[in-house]
């Protein structure tokens, strides 16, 4: 096997791949452009809707308002509430979203607050669960009631000449001792491994189909086989091209998510929200290095599977189900309580997902990482040998 021949095959396939729009879209456009635009765009839309819902005037109904005239007055003073008198069809109006919420005051509420300090008095609030505007109205009502309750407590303490500190014998304070990288790593660790693994496979799918089933459909595979290039050199050249696209897609995914994080921080800051996100170059490089053997596995498997197809469309039908087989273990990073251990380190795809999550959190378990790298490389080598065996079978190469 000659490296020069492998290089010739690789260069030829690279030129053909660069001319293919489908490959460029899945390998470059999606991870580098569309993903940041979608994530930042959807976040911006959600923030705008949430902010608008918080500031928008909500129509609320007061039931039995005569029992708490002072509270009713406090509700009417809220700029985001439009208080209307009670009616029997409040539930129907809430369901039809003509009304955002209704609050019912029990009989003699204010008198009971003043004269019976040891009594707990229920105040009923009716609302539309999961409706953003309804829940915003409920929060405003609860704040008004809370202010009224605090005022009543202050009055009671003043009457008895007691200090309010009696109700707070101790105070709890929180202090974050984790670095920004570790905090960000926990955030990135939930979604980043899943995206990297998924796009690592999708980045390899179209080149793998085009270099096998696509060659059959175009009728060029016979010409390539008739050249002086050995089958092994042909397989390795095609494999390296598919691997390059797979790894490039993963690298672009990491880069685009880093840019997305910067954009999200700026976006949230414009809405008065604070978010600290940081990813070290070391973590990004370690994740990318760990993805390399996974790219080997994906590229080899996809070549072997796609070669069995007779046309490009049939190749898509054969390879697309593999995405779902990769998605399930890739989602392990999103599951709470699933942690990396020696047994899971031998499970392909799952091991990379869990290891990437640990790396992004700043936890480098070098022993397990080495085991994952070696085991995934072995799986990839076995898959590459399978692809080579496929290229030796005339019944597969000339299946039309």
pLDDT at 400 over 60: no
| pLDDT, tens only, 36-70 | 777 777 777 877 777 776 677 889 999 998 888 89
Averaged confidence pLDDT in the chain: 82
Confidence of residue 90 (pLDDT cuts 50, 70, 90): very high
Give me the phi and psi of 89, to 5 degrees please.
-95, 30
The residue-averaged pLDDT of 230-237 equals: 84
Helices 180-210 and 231-270: angle between axes, nearest 10 degrees: 140
pLDDT at 189 over 80: no
- What's the DSSP call for residue 67? G
Q: Let me know: does 208 contact 255? Beta carbons within 8 Å.
A: no
18 against 103, higher pLDDT: 103
- The whole-number pLDDT of residue 192 equals 80
Instruction: Count other Cβ atoms within 10 Å, centred on residue 66.
Output: 11
- The whole-number pLDDT of residue 158 equals 76
The full set of domain ranges for the chain reads 3-46+179-397, 56-163
The residue-averaged pLDDT of 1-27 equals: 74
Cross-strand bridge partners of residue 126: 102
Q: Give Cα separations from 337 to 178, 183, 333, 355 (angstroms).
A: 20, 18, 10, 14
- The whole-number pLDDT of residue 250 equals 81
Separation CA 226–CA 228 (nearest Å): 7
Residues of the chain above pLDDT 70, percent: 87
48 against 395, higher pLDDT: 48
- What's the DSSP call for residue 190? H
Q: How does strand 124-127 pair with strand 101-104?
A: antiparallel
Separation CA 132–CA 134 (nearest Å): 5
- The whole-number pLDDT of residue 169 equals 66
- The whole-number pLDDT of residue 222 equals 73
Confidence of residue 328 (pLDDT cuts 50, 70, 90): confident
Q: Let me know: does 242 contact 299? Beta carbons within 8 Å.
A: yes
| pLDDT, tens only, 117-160 | 667 788 999 999 988 889 889 999 999 988 888 888 777 777 77
pLDDT at 180 over 70: no
Domain at 56-163: CATH architecture: 3-Layer(aba) Sandwich (3.40)
Tell which phi-psi region holds residue 272, choosing left (phi > 0), alpha (psi between -120 and 50) or beta: left
Instruction: Select the highest-mean-pLDDT range: 37-46, 112-121, 369-378, 382-391.
Output: 369-378
Confidence of residue 92 (pLDDT cuts 50, 70, 90): very high
Task: Using a cut of 0.75, tell me whether the model's pTM lies above it.
Answer: no
């Amino acid at each position: 096997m000659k490296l020069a021949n492998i290089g010739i095959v690789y260069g030829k396939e690279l030129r053909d791949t660069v001319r293919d729009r489908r490959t460029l879209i899945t390998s470059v456009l999606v991870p580098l452009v569309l993903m940041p635009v979608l994530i930042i765009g959807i976040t911006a839309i959600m923030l705008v809707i949430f902010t608008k819902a918080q500031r928008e005037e909500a129509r609320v109904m007061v039931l039995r308002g005569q029992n708490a005239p002072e509270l009713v007055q406090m509700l009417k003073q809220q700029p985001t509430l439009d208080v209307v008198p009670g009616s029997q069809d409040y539930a129907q109006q809430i369901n039809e979203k003509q009304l955002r919420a209704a609050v019912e005051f029990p009989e003699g509420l204010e008198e009971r607050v003043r004269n019976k300090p040891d009594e707990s008095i229920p105040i009923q609030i009716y609302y539309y669960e999961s409706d953003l505007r309804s829940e915003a109205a409920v929060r405003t009502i609860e704040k008004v009631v809370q202010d009224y309750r605090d005022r009543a407590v202050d009055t009671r303490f003043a009457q008895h000449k007691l200090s309010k500190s009696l109700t707070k014998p101790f105070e709890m304070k929180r202090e974050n001792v984790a670095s920004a990288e570790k905090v960000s790593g926990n955030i990135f660790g939930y979604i980043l491994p899943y995206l990297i693994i998924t796009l690592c496979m999708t980045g390899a799918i179209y080149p793998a189909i085009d270099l096998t089933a696509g060659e059959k459909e175009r009728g060029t595979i016979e010409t390539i086989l008739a050249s002086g290039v050995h089958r092994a050199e042909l397989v390795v050249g095609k494999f390296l091209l598919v691997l390059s696209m797979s790894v490039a897609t993963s690298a672009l995914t990491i880069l685009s998510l880093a840019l997305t994080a910067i954009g999200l921080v700026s976006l949230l800051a414009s809405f008065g929200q604070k978010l600290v996100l940081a990813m070290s170059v070391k973590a990004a490089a370690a994740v990318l290095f760990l993805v390399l053997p996974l790219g080997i596995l994906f590229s080899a498997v996809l070549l072997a599977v796609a070669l069995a197809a007779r046309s490009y469309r049939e190749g898509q039908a054969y390879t697309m189900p593999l995405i779902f087989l990769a998605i399930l273990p890739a989602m392990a990073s999103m599951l709470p309580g699933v942690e990396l251990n020696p047994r899971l380190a031998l499970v392909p795809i799952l091991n990379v997902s869990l290891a990437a999550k640990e790396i992004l959190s700043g936890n480098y378990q070098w022993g397990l990482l080495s085991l994952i790298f070696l085991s995934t490389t072995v799986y990839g080598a076995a898959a590459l040998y399978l692809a080579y065996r496929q290229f030796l079978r005339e019944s597969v190469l000339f299946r039309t």
